Chain A
């Protein structure tokens, strides 16, 4: 009898465990996946207020896409519908990730590429005798001009790498930092690179994060400072940063940071944007979703989600490219030489 009572106690405890979280049990159906995705974005995405004039109202998006959801639709069809719904946000940081595809917003559109790797690797620029420190390629293009190409903020470098690069450029008039087609990476690398070009502590931007489920619930903007790296070599002469539409996320952040510095000019095309730190969530079917929750602003408290205008706008000329000349690098070289 006592054994029976004991077993009953265990059974009751087990029942307690299994019945506690029924409200969190979500069925893996197209409808439930759609509803959870829409709700997650509705409550956590940070740019609804900022983009209210340039994207559809999120409730209208629900009304538009909800009828497309059917219980008998394939996972591929569901992915296409949900991916299209997310692209309504016009945000390269918003992706749906499944085992068979990743949805993404086309940032490039019909804009010119303004970058040709074949031209860059030609003998006029990097050629075969460039140097490489960490993830950065560098070379002196002339006695007066140093050139660095940094293709991704995911590529690491350390203090020693930067010290060697800047020492190599020690008697130049200026240097070019080419971050065209840099799709972003680690935000920590932004500060590690930018603090070599500043002589005093400066406010270079602001950032916020979602504090509630309402679309406009954002924290009070917090200042982002850039402090000089006084323990390492710094370069305080002319710096030209080359940009195009492929500069996204951390690269956009780097441009935003550098644009606040007195000795820096931004040259090329508008950046691609992506000024929101993305986080991840997931759906009942196992697909993960990435979206922005913490927006960055420039030093004038303007969002840079849709990109940053260069100080000097220039496109790559097709004729120049055919002759192995990069019009944007050439302009940057002239700007440095003129000083």
Chain B
């Protein structure tokens, strides 16, 4: 199932790549037409697919560690806040994550589906010509569920949380022959937030039908919810596309209301990068740009 889904997503990405290649060329060529003295600040976007291994543990569902596979698809965007300043950029990341893991005896499967959305900002420092360091933060909303269907009255465990993350991105450009390869490392750590957790053995029936919702949303900090993510990627411009490849390591440990969860993922990532210049609302469209809708 997960392999078929991966193939489907790869096909969608390949389709998108084929139709977006021309657009990239146009954007680049349009920029060349612009005034040499004027600098247009672009957005860097990447649509990616990642797959790898996952360890899942949720004491509400099972006392055992489940091991299996993970598949994610996501879209990330870095965009300058203003067309007049290259000091601050906004960061957006949307991911759909699927996990399937088995218990040690391999006779039960825990599945996970998680949607998460990150939005934040970074300040850009450029200590050297080929190095950019971005420091900032973002907040997230995670919505998802872990399922262990063989459990009778406790088959599901909701994943609902929102956090403030500290974020640092290092971007290093290497000139290699006629192309520039970009190495990037993005490290984030959750600082504070809120998360949902039933109280120990409390059932969802009690929470949602019997009014037992007091105390199920808790403030969290490093002690209650430790989460760290690191993504290392390499952007390689090819003939008509820019390929992004790399790996993600994610570790989340929560201990709230005597329910403990642990999620560890190690995934390889591949995606396609687009650098775009977008206009919206009443933004001034610089001379030299042509809109096909007008």
Contacts and interface: CB of A to CB of B under 8 A. Distances in A.
B210 A207 contact: yes
13 contacts: A14-B266, A21-B57, A21-B262, A46-B201, A187-B205, A209-B212, A222-B211, A277-B205, A279-B201, A279-B203, A281-B63, A284-B105, A293-B201
Contacts of B153: 277-280
Interface string A27-45: 0100000001000100010
A286 B105 CA distance: 5
Given A36-B63, A209-B201, A279-B203, A290 B152 contact: yes
B182 interface: no
A209 B206 contact: yes
Nearest to A12: B249
A36 B105 CA distance: 15
Q: How large is the interface on B (under 10, 10 to 19, 20 to 34, 35 or more residues)?
A: 35 or more
Interface in B257-274: 258, 262, 264-266
Interface in B234-274: 247, 249, 251, 258, 262, 264-266
Question: Most chain-B CB neighbours within 10 Å: which of A21, A28, A40?
Answer: A21
Interface in B147-173: 150-154
Contacts of A207: 206, 210
B205 A282 contact: no
A14 B37 CA distance: 47
A212 B202 CA distance: 10
Contact of B106 (A99, A211, A280, A286): A286
Contact of A28 (B53, B105, B232, B262): B105
Contact of B258 (A212, A280, A286): A212
Given A36-B63, A219-B199, A294-B206, A24 B264 contact: no
Contacts of A26: 63-64, 104
A3 to B, nearest CB: 11
A216 to B, nearest CB: 13
B200 A20 contact: no
Contact of B249 (A17, A224, A279): A17
Interface in B194-227: 199-203, 205-206, 210-212
A9 B199 CA distance: 39
Contact of A209 (B203, B251, B265): B203
Nearest to A46: B201
B205 A24 contact: no
Interface residues of A, number: 40
Interface of B: 53, 55, 57, 62-65, 103-108, 150-154, 199-203, 205-206, 210-212, 230, 232, 247, 249, 251, 258, 262, 264-266
Contacts of A17: 53, 55, 249, 264-266
Interface of A: 9-10, 13-14, 16-17, 20-21, 24-26, 28, 36, 40, 44, 46, 99, 187, 207, 209-213, 219, 222, 224, 277-282, 284-286, 288, 290, 293-294
Given A21-B55, A99-B107, 13 more contacts: A10-B247, A13-B230, A24-B65, A26-B63, A28-B105, A36-B63, A209-B203, A224-B210, A277-B205, A280-B151, A282-B63, A284-B104, A294-B206
Contact of A222 (B63, B199, B206, B247): B206
